[in-house]
Structure 1
Amino acid sequence: MLIRVEIPIDAPGIDALLRHAFNGNGEADLVKDLREDGLLTLGLVATDDEGQVVGYVAFSPVAVEGEELQWVGLAPLAVEEAYRGQGLAKKLVYEGLDSLNEFGYAAVVALGQPEMYHRFGFVPAARFGLRSTWPDTEAAFQIYPLAEDALNGVSGLVEYHEHFNREF
């Protein structure tokens, strides 16, 4: 198993993984559009021994109250069904967090299953007065500060790129 930064040749494998993992086109189309618009801050793939994409995580810029603060949003995260339960999602997320920290990013937000993201070290964003644009997501909206001062004086609405506002 190899985890590395995605390269152009991975795009079809990422697309197939996302369509299969999410039972539809929404996440695959989202990643394609983010990639085409240069809005993927970081994309990591996990490949098997044959080089097939079996896991993927993407990070893209977010703003807080319209201000760019070197924050990114984690989405989507997917692991091929045969590889689930082996810690691959955790490895992808941690590799992404480590890389983003090295690149000087301040925080990562995620909207997803609280139990899963808590295992990765994320905490409820509402604790810090942060909220997402989507209603009724307080429990699912999580944050992972990378910089010690990432949350100093920061609160309000965290906005993802408009590509995230499509129907999935």
Structure 2
Amino acid sequence: MLIRVEIPIDAPGIDALLKRAFKGDKEAELVRELREDGQLTLGLVATDDEGQVVGYVAFSPVTVEGEELQWVGLAPLAVDEAWRGQGIGRQLVYEGLDSLNEFGYAAVVALGDPAFYNHLGFEPAARYGLHCRWPGAEAAFQVHRLADDALNGVSGRVEYHTHFNRF
């Protein structure tokens, strides 16, 4: 298995994986739209020995109270069902965090299973007065600081790109 930055030839495999993993088209459409609009900060794939996409993670810009703070949102994250339980999701997230840190990003937010994200160094965003637009998501909304001072004096509503608003 290889984890690397996505390239254009990966798009059909990413699309197919997202449709399988999420049992529908929404996430695949979301990633396509983000990519087409230049709003995909980073996309990483995990490929098998034949080069087939078996895992994917995307990061895209977010704002806090309308301010651009060099923060990104992690979404979606998917691993092919046959490959789950091998740590691929964790590896994709770690690779993404390392790359984003090297690129100078300050923080990453994610909406997902707190147990999974806490093991990766994420913390409840509500602890810092941060929230997202989706009601009832407080427990699942997480933040990971990449810069030591990323959360200093920052609070309020975190907004993903408008493409996310249909969820």
Normalising by structure 1, what TM-score?
A: 0.98
Aligned to 2:156: 156
2: CA distance between counterparts of 1:93 and 1:83? Answer: 16
Give the C-alpha shift of residue 121 in structure 1.
Answer: 1.1
Residue type matched to 2:61 in 1? P
Aligned to 2:118: 118
Aligned to 1:23: 23
The residue correspondences of 1:53-132 to structure 2 (distance < 5 A) are: 53-132=53-132
1: CA distance between counterparts of 2:65 and 2:134? Answer: 14
Aligned to 2:11: 11
Query: Could you say what the CA RMSD is over the residues aligned between the two structures, in angstroms?
Result: 0.5
2: CA distance between counterparts of 1:64 and 1:94? Answer: 23
What percentage of aligned pairs have identical amino acids? 78
1: CA distance between counterparts of 2:68 and 2:8? Answer: 27
Query: What per-residue deviation string (whole Å, max 9, x for no partner) do you get for residues 48-81 of structure 1?
Result: 0000000000000000000000000000000001
Aligned to 1:2: 2
User: Structure 2 unaligned runs (5+)?
Assistant: none
Give the C-alpha shift of residue 35 in structure 1.
Answer: 0.3
Secondary structure of 1:121's aligned partner: coil
Residue type matched to 1:127 in 2? R
2: CA distance between counterparts of 1:120 and 1:52? Answer: 26
Moved over 6 A (4+): none
Give the C-alpha shift of residue 113 in structure 1.
Answer: 1.0
Give the C-alpha shift of residue 115 in structure 1.
Answer: 1.1
Secondary structure of 2:164's aligned partner: helix
Aligned to 1:47: 47
Secondary structure of 1:35's aligned partner: helix
Secondary structure of 2:9's aligned partner: helix
